[in-house]
């Protein structure tokens, strides 16, 4: 016990001595290992030394090359994923105006509005009243009259923005009251 107390006292007075002891031990061990490897290398015949050097160089190039390839491949994957995420982000920002604010969220298993109801609501919000909207299988048929070309154009544009595709569209202007009659079939 006294021996440990003396050692801790000595290390407390001279803190550099305690750090040098650990460094010196490590240095001594490294020097011993280096001397051992050097002596074994010198005992090998020159032909074996050459073969071992070439094999070590080949192994170093193989590991370094494969490591570089993997790093390059990972960097390309990361770059590609980043570019896809950026493209998705800007696409979503571009589609922000196309979101249907009247769509019912599916909460607790509640189903979304049927397509005919969504189209009817969209037409009502666009300023088209009394539109006839009927679902026929996967398609929805709609028919309405309106006096304003701008209102009709805006309503049809909103349908396209919401992802509806026109499979059939017929627009005629009534010569007597100048209203536009629209008959269309759309699919999602």
Q: Where in the chain is the domain with CATH 3.30.70.60?
A: 115-187
Q: What is the pTM of this model?
A: 0.41
In the prediction, which pLDDT does 106 show? 47
In the prediction, which pLDDT does 109 show? 38
In the prediction, which pLDDT does 115 show? 85
Q: What is the DSSP string of the chain?
A: -HHHHHHHHHHHH-HHHHHHHHHHHHHHHHHHHHHHHHHHHHHS-HHHHHHHHHHHHHHHHHHHHHHHHHHHHHHHHHHHHHHHHHHHHHHHHHTGGG--TTPPP--TTPPPPPHHHHHHHHHHHTT--S-EEEEETTEEEEEEEES-HHHHHHHHHHHHHTT-EEEEEEEEE-TTT-PEEEEEEEE-
Fold classified for 115-187:
Alpha-Beta Plaits (3.30.70)
In the prediction, which pLDDT does 136 show? 86
- Identify the segments of the chain with pLDDT beneath 50: 104-111
């Amino acid at each position: 016990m006294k021996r440990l107390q003396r050692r801790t006292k000595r290390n407390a007075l001279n803190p550099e001595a305690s750090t040098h002891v650990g460094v010196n031990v490590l240095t001594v061990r490294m020097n011993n290992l280096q001397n051992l490897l050097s002596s074994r290398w010198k005992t090998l015949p020159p032909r074996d030394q050459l073969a071992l050097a070439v094999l070590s160089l080949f192994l170093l190039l193989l590991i370094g090359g494969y490591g570089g390839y993997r790093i390059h491949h990972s960097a390309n994957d990361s770059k590609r994923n980043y570019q896809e995420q950026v493209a998705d982000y800007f696409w979503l920002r571009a589609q922000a105006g196309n979101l249907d604010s009247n769509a019912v969220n599916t909460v607790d298993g509640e189903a979304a509005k049927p397509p005919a109801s969504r189209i009817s609501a969209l037409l009502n919000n666009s300023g088209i009243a009394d539109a006839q909207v009927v679902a026929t299988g996967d398609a929805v048929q709609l028919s309405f009259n309106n006096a304003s070309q701008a209102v009709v154009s805006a309503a049809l544009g909103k349908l396209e923005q919401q992802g509806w595709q026109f499979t059939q569209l017929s627009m005629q202007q009534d010569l007597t009251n100048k209203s536009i009659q629209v008959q269309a079939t759309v699919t999602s």
